[in-house]
Each structure stands twice: as structure tokens, then as C-alpha cells.
Chains A and B, each alone.
Chain A
Amino acid sequence: MFKNEEMEINLGPQHPSTHGVLRVKLHLDGETVTKCTPIIGYLHRGVEKICENQTYFQGQVWTDRMDYVASISNNLGWAEGVEKLFGIEVPRRAKYIRTMLTEQNRLASHLLWLATHALDIGAMTVFLYAFREREYLLDLFEAFCGARLTTTAFRIGGLREDLPPGFIKSAQAFQDRFLPCIDEYEELLTENRIWKKRTVGVAKLNAEDCIALGVTGPVLRAAGVPYDIRKAFPNAAYAEMDFEIPTRPEADTYARYLVRLAEMRQSHRIIQQCIEGLPEGPVMAKIPKILRSEVNEVYHPIEAPKGELGYYFVGEKGGTMPYRMHVRAPSFVNLQALSKMTEGRLLADVIAAIGTLDVVLGEIDR
């Protein structure tokens, strides 16, 4: 440990704070990290290969299992990608409902992030408070599609069923109780001196590095780049929604925390607009029973809670299954930035950096 003797330490694959089976190989000089190598693949299930052998309808169930904390966003990406591949136009009501559920799912994902990130840094009560609100959201998902986590919420061409009776009412009830809860988290964390010490200036990644490394989502926005696919390439009903892209110039962990909290408030706003402006009409487009594609390729990105989630399809002539399916998982690309964020910093900052990147291993390893 004295004479340039570095300790090599394995953070994971079984470790309380790596959020799954992430393994990070650290070279430590005392407590300072000199080299940081993320090693992934422990959860590799070959989703892309499986989807090449399943029809476009069936493939959606695998997207649930990628980013399992934001499965509705994944469903949306899949459904919209396939619709783009076939040129299907979705009814407006379905678009609104999709937008609302996706935003609720963003809330759920950000709440989970807040919970685990705070727990990593040591604040254990925020964990339970955030899970309490997430529970309401999961109840809403259960009411809509029957499952809480692996939702399989949407269908190609729209939705399977319309909203259940009473859904709007309970969603509105959640809307009413949610904003005070965010204030509560802020009271516990935002001004707390220990929280600020642990996050301000930690794991910095400026805008140039973010763009060069392909980092998207709240991490990019916390570096001051107002890039949001909901605004840049509007999908679903986002073009009709009125919301802002929260950004911060500091590009550190604290800025990401603030950006995500502000995003939660914006999502709350979007859901309110969806509830108020929900149009009447059918929820399913007219599509044939068996979809047969033409030769086509499509890359469809959406703004998942973690960043740009892109689905790349190659269609075969007359094929009912995708010839090639590829997922641009936001966590996969974002995780590349971990070594740049942490090298030269302390061991505890690695934990904060993993937390602030908000990685989900199901999505990274696919």
C-alpha cells in the first residue's frame, strides 16, 4: 500500500450497492481509486436472439425484463418501433394513455432511483418514503394492465383495453398527494449538509465528455445540455404536452439529483395534462391479425428514465418475426462513463457514481 502497491478490490457481483450483478474491478491506492473497470454480462440472457425467434407481438414481453423498473417505457419503445416499421398510426386516445402511463413509470423509476441512491449514501429513511409513493404507482399499473413490474402494457397499434373504471380518479388522487411528498424528500436531503458534502462536486462529467461517451438522460441534462427526446423527436403525445426540460450547469451528483427531482415535477405536470385533456375514441388501430413486414429498418429512440432507449429493427419481406432486433440500452452506454467519473476519487465516490448513473443491470446485460 505504500510503494505504489495497489490493492485490487472487486465491488460485486454480489455487493449491497451495485444494484444487481454489476462487478466493478477497482485498483485502490489507500482509499483512492486509480483504476476502475466495470465488468458486465452476469445477467446476459440473449434477449436480442430470443426476439429474433419471436413474433412482433410476442417480443414485447422480453422488453419488460430489460429495464424492469421502467418496463412501460420499454414497452412504449418496442410498440412504437414496430408501429414505425409497419407504418401504423395509433389513435389519439391511446397515445394519451401511453404518455400518461410512461410518465407515471418515469416517476416510479425516479423514485426507485432516489430511494436506492439515498440508501447508498446512507440515508435510509428516504428509501421507505420513496417506496411508499412508488407503491401507489404500481397499484395504478396493476389496475391498468394486471401486473406491477413486468407490465406488458401496450399492444402494437394501441392498447389492449381502455382504462379501467376509476383509474382516472385514483390517478388524480395520486397527483394530489405527490407534490408534498417531493417536498418531504427535499426537506430530508436537499439542504442536508452531509448529503451536500457527499454529492456536490462528486463524479463530475462535463457536457463534452457526456456527448462523446454517448451519455444521455438526466446525466446529460445535469451537464447543462437540454437534450430530451420527448422534445427533440416527439413521440407518443409529447408534442401536445407543455413541459420544460430541467437542466443544471454543475454536472455533478448533486446536480443530477436536482435534475431528477425537477423531472419528477415535470412528469407530474404531464400526467396532469394527460388526465385533463384525455380525448375520447378508440384505443386500438385497425391492424391485420398477422403482421407481415416488408424489407425495412427502423431505429426508434424514446426518452426512458435513464436516457435514450433505442430499438433497432430490421424487417424481412413477409416475415412475422424481426430479422434483427437491437436495443440501445441507456444504462449500457451510460455505464461506460463510470471509469471517467471515478478515477482519482475515493472509494465512497464510486458508490455515489454508480448510484447517480442509475444503472439497471437487466438492461445492460440484456
Chain B
Amino acid sequence: MSFLRTLIPFDIAAGLTVTGRYFGKVFFSANRKKVRTRIKHFTQEYPEVPVNLQPRFRGRLTLLKDEQGEIKCVCCLACEKICPTQVITIEKGKKEGRKMPFPVQYDFEMERCIFCEFCVESCGFDSIILNHQFELAAYNREDFSIGMEGLGQNMFEPSPVGKYSVAED
């Protein structure tokens, strides 16, 4: 029996069975017409089929505004201090009709950011979040320097960087 097993490659046949089974399954389910039918292949056609991100996903840093459209940040500098890579630079300032300090400048150097969410954690005023944006590619280094205002560097815009991603257009 063992001689027979050596002579006839049962082991390789077992492997071929596994792969052949998958081939059959995927072959008959992949050549479908509708998008939303039950599929057997694991990969997704990414730009067309949207990615399901988890609620806690850590994307790009964004400043939040309250109901009046005011920036919530009060320049406590906690995020600037806790950041392990020192990507946040805040300049304190005053604004008419506001008691708390107001960030005149809030610079975010995204090329060094490691998306650890320590800044959000340290913020006592819930004024920043990491949003769900993950297509963060651009051709120029300057595009990664995000600020509150400036040419194409607005932090409140939906996608200041990642303008070359496929899903956007």
C-alpha cells in the first residue's frame, strides 16, 4: 500500500482537488451579471465597490466646528505636546466675540503623521477627530502640509490631499 502511495501521487491529487474546487466555485460565480449577487471570490473591485471602513478607522486629522460654525479648538496645545512625531503646530490668537483662545494657525504636516490618534485622545474639548479618509496620495510634498487656510490646503475641505485617488472622480 505504501508502495502504491509512493507511485501514485495521491497527495498531489488532494492538493489539486482543493485548488480545483476553488477554481470551479469562483469560475461559476465570478462571471455573473449583477454586482450584488452572492460572490465566491474574496477580493473586491475597489474603486467601484466601496470599502467598508470600521467606525474607529483612523484617517486624516480634521478640526471640528460647533453648531455656530465656530472652530471648537481652544489652543490648549495638548495635541501638540502629545504628538510623537511633532506634526501639529498651533498658533494662539484672539478673535472678536470669543472668550476662549482661537487658533490663528493650525498646521498639520501629514507626511510625517503616523495616525496614532493620540491627539484626539488628549483633546479635552472634542475639537479634532481623525476622519475616514484613507486615499492620501499626492504628487507634491506641499500637498501634505495641511493648514486652516491657504491654497488647496484647507483642513475643512473633504479632500485636500488624495486628489489623485480613483474613487474621487
Contact = CB atoms under 8 A, between A and B. Distances in A.
A and B touch in the complex (CB under 8 A): yes
B56 A184 contact: no
Interface in B9-65: 9, 11-12, 14-15, 17-19, 42, 53-58
B100 interface: no
Interface stretch (A18-26, A56-64, A232-240, A273-281): A56-64
B56 A142 contact: yes
Interface string A129-170: 000100100010011111100101000000011001000000
Interface stretch (B67-75, B88-96, B110-118, B142-150): B110-118
B116 A187 contact: no
Contacts of A125: 19
B121 interface: yes
Contacts of A191: 11, 14
Interface of B: 9, 11-12, 14-15, 17-19, 42, 53-58, 82-84, 114-118, 121, 130
A336 interface: no
A152 B11 contact: no
A58 B118 contact: yes
B19 A146 contact: no
Interface size classification for chain A: 20 to 34
Given A132-B42, A143-B55, 4 more contacts: A62-B84, A142-B57, A147-B58, A187-B14
A147 B115 contact: yes
Contact of B56 (A62, A164, A187, A192): A164
Contacts of B9: 193
Contact of A192 (B12, B53, B58, B118): B12
Q: Is the interface of B mostly helix, strand, loop or mixed?
A: loop
Contacts of B117: 146, 152
Contact of A142 (B12, B54, B114): B54
B58 to A, nearest CB: 4
Nearest to A65: B114
Interface of A: 54, 57-59, 61-62, 125, 132, 135, 139, 142-147, 150, 152, 160-161, 164, 184, 187-189, 191-194
B84 A146 contact: no
A288 to B, nearest CB: 15
Given A62-B84, A142-B56, A192 B114 contact: no
Greatest chain B CB density within 10 A among A54, A58, A146, A188 is at A146
